[in-house]
Chain A
Amino acid sequence: MIVFRNVTVRYDGKVEALSRVNLTIPDGEFVFLVGSTGSGKSTLMKLLYRELLPTEGSVYVGDDDVTQLEAKHIPLLRRRLGVVFQDFRLLPYKNAVENVSYALQVIGAEPRDIHQRALSALGRVGLAHRATSMPGQLSGGEQQRVSIARALVNDPTVLLADEPTGNLDPETSLDVIHLLESINESGTTVIVATHDREIVNLLAKRVVELDSGRVARDAVGGYDRQGDDHFDAPREEEISEPAADEQGAGDATED
């Protein structure tokens, strides 16, 4: 279970990236996090893997309040999470299976198992046959699959994907989303931040829409159904100014 309780993030004490967000994500759920650029999607993700501390509020991953985590325990939190980015973040001089292995090597996994585990993770994303290909020889979609395999290789309970289809063409995007869906079906909680409307509308999943740091909508299904368009033109009344007494109360701390 992931819980955001009254979470506010203020950058430099002024700009409010998240504003008193309350959100609960049960284990095994698939959630789309949508909203325009700057709406707070990435900030929300960063709070989960403790890249960022909130100015106020608590964030729970399982039983742990990650905002109270000691620095030395942050790596242990991150081993329970898998993170995927828009730009894949593969090491160009390592081939696919080496890139996946790397994630196990650096957390001190049993060296004898690493290769096998990396190969089976590549199998899960359908790339067993490209194990020895270098990232430069792989298509964008394949590279993103390798990065998903890397995120999966340590069997995380939660998979976070920040704009995973941002660099992919629509067809490949769909493949990647279906892959994430199948990963979710095997029990992993999956949170996908995206502004790809097509994809959100295609899958009948829970959609949390952020607008200027607030949860503007939280419902199942794409939200073109209501006929309005939150992505392109957020409604004026939903952009609320932060209350005066909150100004400068604290700083968002990068960690």
Chain B
Amino acid sequence: MLQRTEFLLGELLTNLRRNGLLTLAAVITVMCSLVVFGLFNLANTNLQNILLEEARKAQISAFLAKDLKAEETDKLEKAIRALPEVRDVAYVSSKEAFERLRKELDSPVLDSLGGEADGRLPAKFSVTPRDSKAIDAVAKQLKGMAGVTDVSYGGQVVRLLNDLLKQVRLAGYVALILLALATCAIISNAIRLTIYARRREIRIMQLVGATDWFIRVPFMLEGLFHGLVGGLLAVVVTFALYRHMAHVAESLLPFLRLVKPETLLWSYTLGLSALGAVIGIGSSLISMRQFLKEA
């Protein structure tokens, strides 16, 4: 067994050495394809994360009529609390609302308005739904309640993110398919050249009674080599790029929480090299099939 493996590995090395430049081209193509796919996937993961976070902190602001009396406000709060989809309700007075706005905007113009601005902003209830998916339904109910003049919530942002996520995912898969096809074409061409260079050996193998599978193995190993090495290089490049991009993004947008590269490293190593291996072996089988048919 050991010697047989040695023989096959010897054949593989001969093949790789013989078309060194093409081996390089095949490996690099696999790498590029998988880097693009890997980056798409990372973008997808991060968007999904952001979306979940956004959804978690999604709150509805229910603005109250200015002339609403204290007891009416209490009644309204009870009614909102009674809604089954509502997790929490917090009252934000007109003054508090103004303070928050001033903090958020940090603008001297607002400061100069001083207490005068007090009362111009409506008081509101901050309503947190139990489930971000119920946010539309809760908002609708709130809007129908007496004393509520208007509602606003981050529903648009969540929906927008969701749509974006779908698009990114779709683009990722389309890119994967197109790149996989291109990669297959390049690998199978590389292997076709190897086959051509080794046609004498193959003819002899066929004549002395080697099985088609035995003849295929060295070429499958070659495809596997292209795919695996390309896949592993892709992991290195993808994560180097990701680390860099995450660093830049986080320094530009401090509130952004991107997924830490370390937590994804192993699953990507496994995933990208497996994908590379499948593409590599698949391509070699395609070109072998053609040759064995012709022979």
Q: Residues of A with Cβ closer than 8 Å to B?
A: 49, 71-72, 74-79, 83, 89, 91, 102-103, 105-108, 111-112, 150, 154
- Given A111-B4, A112-B3; A103-B208 close (CB under 8 Å): yes
Contact of A78 among B4, B200, B208 (CB under 8 A): B208
Query: Contact: A79 with B209, CB < 8 Å?
Result: yes
Query: Contact: A106 with B203, CB < 8 Å?
Result: no
Query: Contact: A106 with B3, CB < 8 Å?
Result: no
Shortest distance between the CB of B10 and any CB in chain A (Å): 10
Identify which of B3, B208, B212 gathers the most chain A CB atoms within 10 Å of its CB: B208
Identify which of A49, A71, A108 gathers the most chain B CB atoms within 10 Å of its CB: A108
Top 7 A-B pairs, shortest CB-CB distance:
A111-B3, A78-B209, A79-B209, A106-B210, A103-B208, A75-B209, A106-B205
Chain A residues, CB < 8 A from B200 = 89, 91
Please report whether the interface of chain A is mostly helix, strand, loop or mixed according to DSSP: helix
Chain B residues, CB < 8 A from A49 = 207
Query: Contact: B7 with A105, CB < 8 Å?
Result: yes
* Count of residues in B whose CB is under 8 Å from the partner chain: 18
- Closest A residue by C-beta to B5: A111
Judged by a CB distance under 8 angstroms, whether B201 is at the interface is yes
Bound form: Cα–Cα A79–B203 in Å: 14
Chain B residues, CB < 8 A from A150 = 208
Judged by a CB distance under 8 angstroms, whether B82 is at the interface is no
Chain A residues, CB < 8 A from B2 = 111
Query: Contact: B203 with A75, CB < 8 Å?
Result: no
Query: Contact: B210 with A91, CB < 8 Å?
Result: no
Shortest distance between the CB of A103 and any CB in chain B (Å): 4
Bound form: Cα–Cα A103–B201 in Å: 10
Judged by a CB distance under 8 angstroms, whether B291 is at the interface is no
Judged by a CB distance under 8 angstroms, whether B214 is at the interface is yes
Shortest distance between the CB of B182 and any CB in chain A (Å): 32
